[in-house]
Amino acid sequence: MSDSPEKKDNLLIELGTEELPPKALKNLAQSFSSSIAASLTDAGLASIDEHDARFFAAPRRLAVWVRAVASGQPDRLEQRRGPSVSAAFDANKAPTKAALGFARSCGVEVSELATEETEKGSWLTFQHQVKGQAIDQIVNTALETAIKQLPIPKRMRWGDSAQEFVRPVHWLLALYGETTLNVSVLGLQSGNSTRGHRFHCPTNIPIPSADQYVQILRDQGHVQVDYAERQKNISAQVAALESEAGGNAVLDQALLDEVTGLVEWPVSIRGKFDEKFLDIPAEVLVSSMRDHQKYFHLVDDSERLLPGFITVSNIESNDPHRVRAGNERVLRARLSDAEFFWQADQKINLESRIPSLREVLFHKKLGSVHDKVQRMKLLAQIIAETIDADEAFVDRACDLCKVDLVTDMVGEFPELQGTIGRYYATNQGEPGEVSTAIEEHYRPRFAGDVLPGNPVSQCLALADRLDSLAGIFTCGEIPTGDKDPYGLRRASLGVLRIIIDSKLNLDLYALIQKAVIGFSDTRLELQPDTADKVFSFVTERLRAYYQPLGFDTEEVNAVMAVKPKKPFDFDQRIRALHDFVKNHQDDALSLAAANKRIANLLNKQSDAIAKTVDPALFREKAESDLFELVSRTSGSVKQAFSCGNYSEGLTQLSALKGPVDQFFDDVMVMDEDQSIRSNRLALLQTIRLLFLEVADISVIRVE
């Protein structure tokens, strides 16, 4: 474009594709929009707030509309500073290598360089006019950047093209007001037309201006392109139909997002299924409707499942009854299969299925699921002894916890493993704690999920995760970067949540050691540092655990520095430290600064510290006073710490602030006399070791 940069108009960019992944659509569109907006802002073409940039997203398109974008950058004067004049010329006024090199980098002769006078001297400079880029160039670069930054786990190619994207691309729309921009990405040249609904309007549709995009697509193209408006429309349609059904549709947000990503022109339809299927577990029916068919299921006011559903179609059919019948027929077939599996599975006792787990592979180097269960049993019994869980129930629950993996129902509905096992165990007369543990040992499945609710379930949940962690690390398949195929980060956070939130007094390091030893019978060569690596990997997740709870990074680092072996003990320490810093801020920061100073002194003089403090070597009153106070309080402080009463111990240690400050004011630690110096360092080490009973507060930031 050749317009003046002072001109401003609205910008529209649309990338047309094959159907995009519905679960990822919203994130893709938001990333696309924010990246374009950021590039325009960085280029100086727009100053964008949340109302100036809007993303649009539908199954076959990503788009962004930006308000009041300049048509290009103004020309600007750019100045570069080179060497000082004194370094640029020799005694004969001839240019030096420094001057010649600077001129060469600027593409001119030395004689064409200017001189700038500053307070610090004279410098060679070069000034030149830089022509601002037009909007076409900037948008082209912004598009390339946005496409590279899209959160796409795996890109694909199509045809014989070398281009890569999440799905094949077919058109590119780029409008600046009413003007078509000259932009080219992914092998596409931009134009001023889009495409309508794949079935209702499978033709090109010209868009006269950026501001008419949404309306024209809706009125002519049968596409409701505004993601948020489309989702509101779906919610409203579902609400109207649930009222007709006399129930309540369960609008799970994840499903609502997915359905919104599946349709361009939503038309909701209510269907029914035979009431006889309500005899099947509700979870099976919900999974069939929600996970497999993307239907919203219906419940009554008591949350009991009703024999109906609401589906959202992507077409406006002339015969909606046929669409309804088709959906009902598909669901009926799936529920009939589930009913058959439900009845057939229960003809076989769970215990008789246990040997079949030998045929289910857990990991090619770690054996079968049956092998895993045997290791879990040993680990779960150790945990049971500590948390006072019923050992007989733990043993029985371990035997049965994975058996539903070989049932037909879980084969058809793998997302219901554990849940199906609970139903079958209950129906076959297993104790409640055992049946519950079969389901709950998979919890938490995701961030924020509920935790196992009883000791038997907790034993299995911890044993399962610790066995997986130890086994995968023993194989050498340690997660790197974003790659975590076995979900070990999630498993680690689950272990920490179960122990901390349930206040379990478990030594995590000792359990990991036991879990690693459990692989002694495999062909794998156990490495001596495997337990240390697993422990470090798991405890590193403590940062993710405590950050949302409002704890500072320094507080987490301070406690991690002393490497507590028990996560619940870690929790008590960090909460005590947090309260200490909050409620005794001046004392805490002063003592943190003193600890940092002490740590530096001790690290530099580690070989010159006396084993014990000798009061006879004191020369200053300040060191005598400090020693007396430390001696008087250390016993009660250690007693408080040994009982886990870290808050009380830290409060007692706050009394050291004044004497420690006085010590550093009056005493020269690094005395010339080696025995005096060594004695003073020993006194400081006594103080540091007291604080290290809780945390290394020297890492607390002092402001």
Structure tokens that stand for 339 in this block: 């009913």
- Domains, the chain, in order of start with CATH, read 8-73+134-219 (3.30.70), 77-130 (no CATH), 227-345 (no CATH), 352-540 (1.10.3210), 574-699 (1.10.730.10)
Statement: residue 2 has pLDDT above 50: no
Q: What is the rounded (10 degree) CA torsion for 331, 334, 336, 342?
A: -130
Mind listing the pLDDT tens digit for each residue in 495-536? 999 999 999 999 999 999 999 999 988 788 888 999 999 999
Mind listing the pLDDT tens digit for each residue in 446-478? 988 999 999 999 999 999 999 999 999 999 999
Name the strand (E) or helix (H) holding 130: strand 121-130
CA–CA separation, 329 and 322 (whole Å): 10
Tokens 């049993």, residue?
A: 377
What contacts 416, CB < 8 A, 6 or more positions away? 283, 284, 287, 409, 410
Structure tokens that stand for 515 in this block: 């879990």
Residue 256 dihedral angles phi and psi, to the nearest 5°: -60, -40
Q: Is the separation of the CB atoms in 408 and 337 below 8 Å?
A: no
Residue 83 dihedral angles phi and psi, to the nearest 5°: -70, 165
Mind listing the pLDDT tens digit for each residue in 106-151? 888 988 888 888 888 888 898 887 777 889 999 999 999 999 999 9
Question: DSSP states of 596-647 as a string?
Answer: HHHHHHHHHTTTS--SS--GGG--SHHHHHHHHHHHHHHHHHHHHHHTT-HH
Give me the pLDDT at residue 584, please. 84
CA–CA separation, 375 and 415 (whole Å): 24
Burial bucket for residue 275 (CB in 10 Å: 0-12, 13-18, 19+) = exposed
Give me the pLDDT at residue 631, please. 93
Mind listing the pLDDT tens digit for each residue in 250-297? 999 999 999 999 999 999 999 999 999 999 999 999 999 999 999 999
Put residue 337 in one of left, alpha, beta given phi > 0 → left and psi -120 to 50 → alpha.
Answer: alpha
Give me the pLDDT at residue 50, please. 62
Mind listing the pLDDT tens digit for each residue in 313-334? 999 999 999 999 999 999 999 9
